[in-house]
Structure 1
Amino acid sequence: MNPRARAGEHNSAWRWTFVPDLDAGHVRTCGSRRVHRTQGLRTASDHLSRTILEHVRIAVVTESFLPQVNGVTNSVLRVCDHLGARGHEVIVYAPGGPGCDETPDHYGSAQIVRGPSVGLPRYRDFRVGLPAPALGRMLRDWRPDIVHLASPAAVGAHGAFLAQKMRIPAVAVYQTDLAGFASRYGLSSADKVLWRWLRRIHATVGRTLAPSRHAVAELERRGVKRVARWARGVDLERFRPDRRDDELRQRLAPEGELIVGYVGRLAHEKQVDLLTGLDRTPGIRLVMVGDGPQRASLQRKMPNARFLGFQSGTRLAEVFASLDVFVHTGAHETFCQAAQEALASGLPVVAPRAGGLLDLVEEGRNGLLFTPGEARDLHLKVRQLGTDRQQVLDFAAAARPSVQGRTWSVIGDELLGHYEHVASGKEAA
């Protein structure tokens, strides 16, 4: 019987490739063959081989996608790249809205399906996906083997409940600290409600993937079960020290000032206003890279800072490499990809002693940590580097080696291992 014969019922036959574990830490794929999942076969193979999903159909349900550019979107794009390169079929369900009509209906080999959305009251260019029948139709018609939920909250919650109803194995990628962001907007009373909702979502999936040790611990403390750590990769070919642009450096700091840069969204939840006053520090040139609703007010507060606006691709990599120090302000990061890209570019990082940044910044080796939310401590750490250029050089030398093994290829293959785990049914829901 064709395992896809009945819509809404998940197939019982899985496509696997069994690879002898001769090279621990590296994932290799072999020739295609189909193996039926049986209890005896799974038990016999557990200690003898690594099981790798081969030619699998993955439905990615994401809260954010192009043309919006943020951490969730970037992670989904890299996942699509890796799955496509490994020969898997991918379909992406994402919020529609203004600007989406001009974007392609494919990203690489992945098909893009758009659903209804609404803009946030204070952040109109950020779209929130709404539950709609189109998602259920897509899952029934396309019949994926795995559902990948990217930072599920609204449309992702709908995807989680549908996957559970259709008995499709699912993983949820926890990426956004919704409760933390809500508190920054004066909605700390929503904390319990948000966590109750998140627990309900994550209870439906076979595994929740969190990007840092702090995020894993926080989810477990809040009662989320079946949590595993899955970090983020970094493009070491794009982000590297030799992309330094000396002409840009001369324009930014003609007097040879220490160039200290922030790269990210200019929004309230990022606590960027902690940098106010740093632009007036002698010997330091503050550079702001990014855009967002706070840009105009920050430009008024920091008249001596250089605002470069939104940058992407190779130009973003050149800007990173042209800085001397990277500074991050937000204390509610589950990971902080910008900090990882800064390290890959050979930059020391100054960041809050909180969240996912603790997995990236080794104080006294590749950067410095400050007390979260304390502008004075942040300024003190930056000024320390401004007066000790040798420390800057020492931290810079350790920066890239600290992320050397975190390529998207390695991280992507780890994700395939998590898919295999939930597909095998090892952990009961």
Structure 2
Amino acid sequence: MKIALFTETFLPKVDGIVTRLTKTVTHLVRAGDEVLLFCPEGAPDTFMGARVIGVPALPLPLYPELKLALPRPLVAEALDAFKPDLVHVVNPAVLGLGGIWLARTRGVPLVASYHTHLPKYLEHYGMGMFEPLLWELLKAAHNQAALNLCTSSAMVEELSQHGIQHTALWQRGVDTDLFRPEWRNPAMRRKLAGAHGDSDSLLLYVGRLSAEKQIERIRPVLDALPQARLALVGDGPHRQQLEKVFAGSATTFMGYLGGEDLASAYASADAFLFPSSTETLGLVLLEAMAAGCPVVGANRGGIPDIVTDGVNGCLYDPDSPASLTAATERLLASTEQRQALRLAARAEAERWGWAGATQQLRRFYSEVVRPPLQLVA
């Protein structure tokens, strides 16, 4: 099958969407599919056998890490030369809207997928009044597609409630070969603790340092647990504000980590804290679980699809300010319980390999390209 992917974000950016896309492209090519990917400029010309076309882009004012790529004639020319069997737009915003228009005007089957809960992000940037309008725009875009894929059952339900049709669940995936408990390392623990010294309560956050991630909610946890240490892995537009929030606490800003270093960071921590209540999935939670790191996440969005409270992690109520502290204290209270959570977390992650997720995606593609025959009465 010849698949054209349109995405608003790709390499060299690091986030959950890029991880899913890179793993998906890798497995599509391995399965014999031909892939052409359109993304903002800056990515390599090829990736794992797929051709990549970078489109000139401008940084988003409120979030300069994200770039808006405006569709240009070169996009249409490349798509027409490729002659895809299917177009898949990922989080359509600007470039993706061009992909939708090109697919519709050329009669190419169209799939869309929803990965970032943009309407809920608005309130964290002082624009909550625009949420109803954004839902209408998303509905208009997504309802052009024959199939709209979501990464959690909560998002399937929410999109359906807002009038987005033809929704389905695209199962989660995680690299259980890279992220595994064996990477636990005393040297990495010392690096994560930094100048504050190691302790038996090393807390970890991995992800973008941005307003919608609600990372400042971790500060009261540190105030309640004076022996705890926190490592923040990642970077983003909210870093300077967070440095002020966590001033005077035992917090180390690590910047980006990748590959084996990131796997070791997960495996070496005592608890992974993920306060965000805007997640469609929360891929970093799955990575932490694969590495055997007990997790605390919000009982909201896609996270309850992954975390079962008291079984493979702990959930907290994002509407209760003290709940994150209480859940963290509960996780750290018993060494035996923490070990049980580690084992259960790893077992849960082992159910969700990228190969299986891509096999499911290819079945979705086949259904869209070759719809079932209609019986004539």
* Bigger-Rg structure (1/2): 1
- CA offsets per residue over residues 121-149 of structure 1, 9 Å max, x none? 12223212223222222221211111111
Match status 1:219 vs 2:153: no
2:239 is equivalent to residue 299 of structure 1: no
Paired residue type of 1:187: M
2-structure distance, mates of 1:373, 1:128: 33
Q: Does 1:199 align with 2:142?
A: no
1:348, 1:399 within 8 Å by CA — same for their partners in 2?
Answer: yes
Q: 1:125 to 1:260 in 2, by over 3 A?
A: same
**Which residue in 2 is equivalent to 1:72?**
17
Q: Deviations over 1:332-351 (max 9, x none)?
A: 10000000101111121101
**1:77–1:403 CA distance, 2 compared to 1 (3 A):** same
Distance in 2 (alpha carbons) for counterparts of 1:65 and 1:374:
35
**1:385 Cα deviation (Å)?**
2.4
2:342 is equivalent to residue 409 of structure 1: no
Alignment of 1:251-400 (within 5 A): 251-252=191-192, 254-280=197-223, 281-303=225-247, 304-400=250-346
TM-score, normalised with respect to structure 2: 0.94
Paired amino acid for 2:354: W
Q: Name the SS of the counterpart of 1:276 in structure 2.
A: helix
Residue type at the aligned position of 1:228 = A
Cα shift at 1:116: 2.5
Cα distance in 2 between the residues matched to 1:379 and 1:316: 25
Distance 2:320 2:61 in 1: 29
In the alignment, is the contact (CA less than 8 A) between 1:271 and 1:373 conserved in 2?
Answer: no
Letter in 1 for 2:209: L
Give, in angstroms, the shift of residue 233 of structure 1.
Answer: 0.9
Asked whether the 8 Å contact 2:184–2:267 carries over to 1, the reply is yes
CA contact (8 A) 1:145 1:169 kept: yes
Q: Which moved more, 1:82-91 or 1:252-261?
A: 252-261
TM-score, length of structure 1 as denominator length: 0.83
The one-character-per-residue Cα deviations of 1:356-407 (angstroms, maximum 9, x if unpaired) are: 1010000010111111154321112112223322221121121111121210
Q: Secondary structure at the match of 1:369?
A: strand
**What secondary structure sits across from 2:64 in the alignment?**
strand
Unpaired segments ≥5 residues, structure 1: 1-55
Residue 90 of structure 2 corresponds to: 150
Contact 1:277 1:302 survives alignment (8 Å): no
CA pair 386-170 structure 1, distance change in 2 beyond 3 A: same
2:5 alignment counterpart: 60
Take 2:296 and 2:96, find their aligned partners in 1: how far apart are those partners?
33
Across the two proteins, how many residue pairs are aligned to each other?
368
